[in-house]
Each structure stands twice: as structure tokens, then as C-alpha cells.
Structure 1
Amino acid sequence: MRGSRTSAQLITVIIAVVVAPFGAGLIATGGSSWVFAYGQYAMAEFDLDRLGGPILLQAVGILLLLLVTMTGIWSSAGLIAVGVLAIVPLVISLFPVLLLETYRLAAGILPVEWLDGLAYGLPLILLLLLGTMGLVLAMVRRRPEATGAALSVGGLVVAPVLLLAGVLLLSWGLDRTRNVALQQYRFDFVPEAAAGILIGTLAIIAGVFVTRWSRFALVLPALALLVVSALVFAPRVFLSALSVLPMEGSRPLSRLILVGGGTAAAILYLGFTAVLTRVRAQAAMTRSVVTPYPPSAQYPPTSEA
């Protein structure tokens, strides 16, 4: 039994740490064409026929990340390992000089679109989500008991607020760092940008953690993200909708959605909700199994004459 559990953990870790970064890279590769198309045509209607290939790449990347999420049914270890990988893009985002050095060292090794996705915060957000989901599954496996109705209902409100605030702060921090580097030629530590990135990261983690008490808390954010992501096919509507936000928030958020972050997060939210429901049921069933004889009882039991 122990060996089977260890094998499941090892297999899910290997799958997750290999597949997750590759899936995020495919999403970034396809998303770069969307960013270019919007930058070239602005408010004009662009030719969707040219985006068939990029859409396919994004779809494959999202399916790979969904596969990683599904490994949580067997073990939380793989998802937690992916969360550890998120430390790398987090550190790079805090220090612009590291991003510049990454571009220099990885040139010719990794596709430039993957590095652009790193600058947009795509791997940071996706790997962070997966890692936090793994922690939630680990907690549920230890304590699968259902929580009260108040916590369940409250989570439906708290999770979307935390996730939205987290993404806005994180994307603003990344954009602030980028602007300082391009406009002032400063590649050192930017305190206000770093604060936005760190607080945004913590808010995203907290938003996913809400599912520990409210398992359907990510359904509403998922539906909202799918609607917003679908608007990219109507550039005028998409850009008009984002114009209600301040320029500092709308610009980085639009790039993150265009590169595929919104759709990928939505699919992960829905997939994780299904996995969480399955894992909670499995853990509860395991706990409900009654041993035939108390541990202190004599085995085999003796019958009285």
C-alpha cells in the first residue's frame, strides 16, 4: 500500500514538472500571435483565419495543464512540485535584471515567445495556481469533512474578489517593472512594483485556498474569465470593456488575457473543482470504513462457550 502511494507520488511529480512548463510555453507561443495582431490592427477587425494555428497551440497547452490538474486525483505531490517551480518566475519578476539576463542566456535555447510569456506573468500565475491547488488537495485528504453552509456561501464571494485583486496587482507590478526598464533604463529592484507582485501573488494563493471550505468557489471566476476571453474575437468590444479600468491596470491585464492566461485559468478552475469533489469524496469514504475488530481486540476473536 505504501509502495503504491509512493509510486503515484513519483509518477505525478515527473509528469507535472515536465508537462506543466511545456504547456505554459505552448500557450505563450500561440498567445504571442494574438498580442501581435491586436498591436498591429488595434481597433480594426483582424483576420481570424491567420490565428487558427495559434489557437490550436493554445488549446494543446491548456489540455496539457488540465492533464496535470487531473493527476491530483491520484496524488497532490505533482501539483505541489509545480508550485515549487513557480518560485523561478516569481524571483525573475521581482528583479528586472534577471529577466534581461534570462533573455540573453536563453536566446536560441527557448523560443522567444516563452520568454515573452514570462514577462507577461503567464507561467507565474499558472504554476502558482496549480501549486496552490495541490496544497488544497493535500489538506482535503487529511481532513475531508464538509464545512458549514456559511463558509461555503461566503467563499463564492471571497474567492472572486481575491483572485481579481491578485491578478490586477500582479499584472500592474509586472507592467510597472517593464515601464521603468524601458523608459528609465533601470533594471534594478523597483519597490512598489515588487510590492504589487508579492501582494498579488498572496491574494491569488488565498483565493484558491478558499476552496478548502467552499469547493465551488472557483466556478464563478471561471465563467467570468471564459466570457471575457471570448471577447477577444470582437476587438472593439474587448478593448471597450477593458477601457473602464485605469490604464495601469487595463494594459497588462489585456496582454495577459490575449496571451491565453484567462482561458487557461478558467479551464483549470473548472477542472480543479471536479478533481476536488472527487478527492473529497474518496477521502471521506476512506475515513468512513470501519475496521472489523478494534485494534486492541484479540485476533482472531474467540467465541465464548
Structure 2
Amino acid sequence: MAYNWGIIGTGWIAHEMGEALQKVHGEIYAVCDVSLEGAKAYAAEFDVQHAYSSLDELLADDKVDIVYVATPHNFHYEMMKQSLESNKHVFCEKAITVNDRQLEECVATAKERNLVISDGVTLLHMPLYKKLKDIVNSGILGKVKMVQVNFGSCKEYDVNNRFFSKELAGGALLDIGVYATSFARFFMSSKANVVLTTANYFETGVDESSGIILKNSDDEMAVMALTMRAKQPKRGVVSCEDAYIEVNEYPRADKATITYTSDGRQEVIEAGESERALEYEVQDMEAYITNQSGDENLEYIRDVMATLTSVRNQWGMLYPFE
């Protein structure tokens, strides 16, 4: 079955998704932007059938099946809630909301209306991770003991940029920490029930860097390091009893290396293509709807947001609109 997508926002990530939707479907059904001129320009660029200047107009279109939210994440909750209440499935960019209360409210609405929610944490949709999960679940590597994952992004110093704005839910945690936390949760058997953390803050009050330790009831641990004003390699390591997995550039990775503890033998695992990351998102979202699946994906999303909320609660860092 073909689904009609309606895009909210016309920024850079909406352009990436536009390219992906074109490759999967050949066209896009609708787009809306606060500027009708902006929506029309996007429509001309990506062969979009309908351009709207408001979310209300887009949601009033009965032919829109899936809403893709491509705005800054401080707007996600209201737009996702309104879309769900209009009986639209929602694929939302990360971070899907700014706290777990917002997400759980949307999840409840989706369940009442038999709708699907998913998000744009690319690694949860990459073929490589599905292959790695099968390998880990097979037991051939032994039990997972420790996950280590880094993400460092050196944002240009600019106090007016949204990354550094409390009013726009800025900071490293929701921008890049969602990837690290998703990587950790994906390989842990269950949600963390112990969260330890500390942070340094940028002059505007948002988190600039942080260290986070997670532990679950299965005695698996994760250690994460995040920075927003210093570069780090995007590297994840999953340490098991009999081998460890290394994944570089992990958000959109298509290759991993397994090193076996007993003899140092290495095995390279490859699946998918990094350049097709958003195409995999589109395909997964549509499969969730068609097959009435996606519960496991949503469980990861909910657990990640609960962890991120716990981290911020420990810091005592609230956004002005919360």
C-alpha cells in the first residue's frame, strides 16, 4: 500500500527526507510551512502535490496518512499531539519530545486511535543494527556486559544559535545525546533503572558536556560521553563476555567489526548503505503501519526519553516552557 506523507517544516532535515521520499515513492503528497512561499519553493523542488501555510490546513486534508515533523524539537509535542488527534500517523524527528511526560501523552493518544508513532533516530532503522541484534541475541558473543558510546559535536560559538538556547530546548543531551542513549538502549536487554550523571553548562544555561552511566536489572552497564563544543569520534562499543563490537560513525553506520576475545580474530559485518538512512526510516514507518508492528521500536523510543528526562531531572535543568 502506498501512503501519503505530509511534511511539516522545510529546513535541512526536511530536504534530506524529501530526497528519501522521492527515491521511495517518486513524489510527496503535501508540505506546510509558516511561509507559504517557503512551502511552494519546497514543493517545486521536490515535486510535492500540495503546499500549505498552516498545520491546520495540512491536517484537514483527509488524504494525508503520515505526518513527518521536521521542526525544532521544542515544537514536536504540540504538532505531534495535534496530528494524532487528527487521526494521522506520525514520524517525528529527534528528539521526539523534550520530556517523557509529553511522549507518554502522545503514546496514549496513538494507542486509543490505533496510530503509529516513530522517530528519526537513524540507527534504529539501519539494516546493520538489525543484523547486529540478531548476532547478539544468538548468544555467540556471550552476554552483554558493557556499552561505551561517545558523541562530540563542535558547534560554532554563537549564543543566538538554537543549539545554545534554553527557550528552544538546546543543549547536547537532546541534540546528540539521544543518539548515544539510543545506541546504549538498543544493545541493553532492558531499560536502565540506575542513572548517574554530571554536566558542564554553556553560558546560556544549556548542557555543553556531560557524562552518563546507566545500569539495568540485568547488570548491564553503559557509559556515555557527550560534548557540544569539542569534537569526539562517534564511536560505540558493545562488550560481551566472548567478544566486542565496534561501530564507528554509528548514527548511520553500515559496517561494524567484531573482535573475539579468545584469539583476537576479527569479523567485519556489513549491511545497508549509510547514504540510504532516511529511506530505511520511510520503509520502516510504512511497514509498522501495514503490519501493525513497531512496538519494539516504540519501546526503545520511550525508554530513551525516560532516561534523558531522568538525566535532566538530576541536573535540575528545566526549559522555560516546561
Q: Indicate whether the TM-score tops 0.5.
A: no
More helix by share: 1
Q: TM-score, normalised by structure 1?
A: 0.28
* TM-score between both structures, scaled by the size of structure 2: 0.27
Based on CA coordinates, which of the two structures has the bigger radius of gyration?
1
